[in-house]
């Protein structure tokens, strides 16, 4: 197989273009609106999905929106005024399912970002954003991918969330250079 950078990067660009294009405008608008209504945003996920969610937590804090991943040192108590974003392709990952079940007791808004929308996490969520990429569970209508494991899902998740950040910046007319003021300066 062709293993040049040019060939492989074009393949990945083509896959993520297909993936991002297939996401519903309406579902993303709902996610943006849930973020704007929330007092605090929590995210939960595992592995590379968690890393993608963490890039979003960092950016939300820059935008002045208090955000935490479940397990973060200064994680506060969740309340009914908060939003929990659950990132799980299959919607059946053990820790996200367990945490979402606990969260239900405190009545936050719950949004599932995943691939399989017939899942335990989906059933506990008030809104969903579907990224139709391969995950551990094979789904019929998924976008096929030549990449290892769930790479395409993770890439799409990171780019979807950065798109949400850009939408928030534009809706609120945020002056980009101002963002550095909230940024850690001990680097």
Q: Which of 23/122 has CB closer to a second copy?
A: 23
Residue 166 binds a second copy (CB under 8 A): yes
Residue 64 binds a second copy (CB under 8 A): no
What Å distances lie between residue 104 and 39, 81, 111, 166, CA to CA? Answer: 17, 12, 12, 30
Residue 67 binds a second copy (CB under 8 A): yes
Residue 22 binds a second copy (CB under 8 A): no
Residue 144 binds a second copy (CB under 8 A): no
Residue 98 binds a second copy (CB under 8 A): yes
Residue 167 binds a second copy (CB under 8 A): yes
In the bound complex, what is the minimum distance in angstroms from residue 181's beta carbon to a second copy? 7
In the bound complex, what is the minimum distance in angstroms from residue 142's beta carbon to a second copy? 15
Rounding to the nearest 10 degrees, give the CA dihedral for residues 27, 35, 74, 98: -30
Cα angle 181-183-65, degrees, rounded to a multiple of 5: 90
Residue 137 binds a second copy (CB under 8 A): no
- Helical pair 151-171 and 25-37, crossing angle rounded to 10 deg: 60
In the bound complex, what is the minimum distance in angstroms from residue 47's beta carbon to a second copy? 7
Q: What residues contact residue 149 under an 8 Å CB cut-off, 6+ apart?
A: none
Q: In 10 A of CB 35, how many CB atoms? A: 22
Number of residues that bind a second copy (CB under 8 A): 88
**Binding positions for a second copy, 99-128, rule CB under 8 A:** 99, 101-103, 106
Question: Please, which contacts does 171-177 make with residues 24 or more away whose CB atoms are closer than 8 Å?
Answer: 171/32, 174/63
């Amino acid at each position: 197989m062709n293993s040049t950078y040019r060939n492989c990067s074009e393949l990945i660009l083509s896959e993520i273009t297909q993936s991002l294009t297939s996401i519903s405008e309406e579902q993303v608008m709902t996610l943006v609106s849930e973020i704007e209504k929330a007092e605090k945003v929590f995210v939960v996920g595992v592995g590379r999905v968690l890393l993608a969610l963490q890039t979003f937590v960092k950016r939300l804090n820059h935008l002045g929106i208090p955000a935490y991943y479940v397990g973060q040192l200064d994680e506060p108590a969740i309340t009914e005024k908060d939003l929990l974003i659950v990132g799980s392709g299959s919607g059946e990952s053990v820790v996200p399912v367990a945490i979402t079940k606990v969260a239900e007791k405190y009545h936050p808004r719950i949004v599932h970002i995943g691939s399989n929308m017939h899942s335990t996490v989906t059933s506990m969520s008030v809104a969903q954003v579907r990224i139709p990429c391969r995950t551990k569970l094979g789904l019929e209508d998924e976008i096929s991918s030549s990449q290892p494991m769930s790479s395409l899902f993770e890439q799409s998740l990171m780019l979807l969330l950065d798109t949400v950040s850009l939408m928030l910046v534009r809706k609120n007319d945020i002056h980009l250079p101002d963002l550095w003021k909230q940024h850690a300066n001990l680097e």
